[in-house]
Structure 1
Amino acid sequence: MSENKKVSMHIESISEEQQIIQNVIAEYFYKGDAVYYRYEEPDHNMGRITTTLKIKGNEIKVVRHGDIQSEQLFQLDSLQPGYYHTASGKMNISNKAKEIKIDLDPQGYGQISWSYELFLNDEHSGDFALKIQIQEDNEA
């Protein structure tokens, strides 16, 4: 199953200060024992960014390319290094996932959710939770 297909994603991101809801159309494909979802960030204030989610086993990797570049790996109860790079410079970040739930069917539809603590230069920067609903793209 190597051909790219399209799915509709409903993304809810919650932090202490705000809730952000995005609806995007993503390409998805399987490579080995991982499933990938790739989409353009809809917030054009951040510039042009392509986000890739890689789901493998019980870990989630988020990679952004474009005007902002970042990489984060989420593994349960494990402090993971990452980075966030903008035109103003590069910051070292790390996270510790408190909860990861992956419930996907063989077609790549279902729900992914995780919550984590974010650290900026080893200082606690906030608590975040994401929930992503993935379903068939009816417009494809």
Structure 2
Amino acid sequence: MNESEPRRVKIELLSGPEGEAGAISYSGMLYPKAGAFYIKYEEADEERGRCRITFKWDTQGMTILRYGEVQGEQSFRLGLRTAGWHETPAGRFRLEMETHKLRLHAKEAGSLPFEIEWQYQLWVNEMSADRFDLRLRVWEEHDE
């Protein structure tokens, strides 16, 4: 993969063990950078409204940024508890994520397709909220 060439990609976000809770698909862009990459896409949800999502993967771990009717930031660092936030028209909430699993699976380093797998415990305003088991699959758009 060219280190600086953006690529059109298909994205599938799976929740629950083996995707049991569901899968949502998107079209987006992959932006490779030296030592990192960004995945950007838009989602529209009746409950949450329109939102632009950015996944950043680097040597530190992964960060998810949300911009739009819902905004927020979550950082995932294996074995650590990190702080973040989530803002909706109802208000702003403090988040904490304790990451139990965070892996990038690819046949070859820097190549498509790949999958990011992560599990974490979420706290909202210092109260335990839920445990999440997620996978993000990414492949070149024309590979379908």
The root-mean-square deviation of aligned C-alpha atoms, in Å, is 2.0
Structure 1 match to 2:129 = 125
- Return the offset for 1:139: 7.9
Report how many residues are paired. Answer: 138
Distance 1:40 1:139, change over 3 A: farther
- Taking only the aligned residue pairs, the percentage that are identical comes to 24
Distance 1:11 1:116 in 2: 15
- Report the more deviating stretch, 77-86 or 95-104: 95-104
Q: What do the CA deviations read for 1:19-51 (whole angstroms, capped 9, x no partner)?
A: 231111110112231100000114243111010
The DSSP-based 3-state class of the residue aligned with 1:48 is strand
Find out whether 1:112 has 2:116 as its counterpart.
Answer: yes
Q: What do the CA deviations read for 1:54-99 (whole angstroms, capped 9, x no partner)?
A: 0112511000000000100000111100000011110001100001
Distance 1:110 1:139 in 2: 13
Structure 2: stretches of 5+ with no match in the other structure: none
1:43-82 matches, within 5 Å, as 43-57=45-59, 59-82=61-84
Equivalent position to 1:30, from 21, 32, 57:
32
Structure 1: stretches of 5+ with no match in the other structure: none
TM-score by length of 1: 0.89
Question: Which segments of structure 1 move beyond 6 Å, counting only runs of 4 or more?
Answer: none
